[in-house]
Each structure stands twice: as structure tokens, then as C-alpha cells.
Structure 1
Amino acid sequence: MEDPLLIIALVACLVVLVILLLGINAFRKGGTEGAKESNKFMRWRLIAQFAAVVLIMVFVWVRGQSGG
């Protein structure tokens, strides 16, 4: 568990989870402001999720190149 790329990928996944929970909480508030805030969080979640998937793919590729 000392692989820095794995740690970065796991942190990115946790960031996605936190943003998702913040977006769900904002949606739970209801109203126009809650919807706007939830939409903003979900846009950030998509960006963070894309970054997390890219990091995971880089990790898999690097591990495959080094023989595991």
C-alpha cells in the first residue's frame, strides 16, 4: 500500500464520494436554491469522477507495464 499512484487514486475516489454526498444533501434541502446548489455539486462530481477514472486507468496501465 505504499504505491503513491494508488493512494492518489483512492483519495480521488473519496473526493468523489464527498462531493456526491454534498450534492445529495443540497438536493434534500429542496427549493430553487437547493436545486441550484445540488446541480453545481453534481457538475463538480462529474469532473472529479472523470479524474478518478483516469487515475485508476493510469495506475492499472503502470502496474501492467511493471509486471504487477
Structure 2
Amino acid sequence: MLSDPLFIVAAIACLGVLVILVLGIGTFGKGGEGSAKRSNTLMRYRIYAQGVAVALILLYVFVSKMGA
């Protein structure tokens, strides 16, 4: 499983979602109007990244089942 490049890409995408989530929550915690706008933007990026991560996970599962 760890030698499969698609699994590694999906795992990196999941870590990317986590990083964006932590940055968004941290920015939101600072307070202020500018921070709220930036946090909102980061959360929007998180949704896009999460969609990509889910698609990669589904692709990995599909490819794994086809090869088995």
C-alpha cells in the first residue's frame, strides 16, 4: 500500500487539507475583520482541497479493486 503512488498522493492531499484547516482555525482565532476574511478564504480553499482528496481516495479504491 505504501509503495502505491496513488495512495501516497491521496495521503498528501489529506495532509494538505489538514494544514489548510489548521491555518484557517488559527487565523479565525486571532480575531479582527481582516482575519475573518482570510479565515473564510482558507476554509473555502479547504473545501476545494477536501473535494480533491476525496476524489483521489475514491480513485485509489476503484483502482485497487480493479487490480485485485
TM-score range, shorter chain: over 0.9
Q: What letter corresponds to residue 55 of structure 1 in structure 2?
A: L
- What is the aligned-residue RMSD (CA, Å)? 0.4
Q: Which 4+ runs in 1 deviate beyond 3 A?
A: none
Separation in structure 2 between the aligned mates of residue 3 and residue 23 of structure 1, nearest angstrom: 31
Q: How many residues align structurally?
A: 67
Give unpaired runs (5+ residues) of structure 1.
none
Which residue type is aligned with residue 6 of structure 2?
L
**Unaligned regions of 5+ residues in structure 2, if any?**
none
Taking structure 2 as the reference length, the TM-score comes to 0.97
* Counterpart in the other structure of 1:10: 11
Alignment match, 2:50: 49
Q: Find the counterpart in structure 2 of residue 34 from structure 1.
A: 35
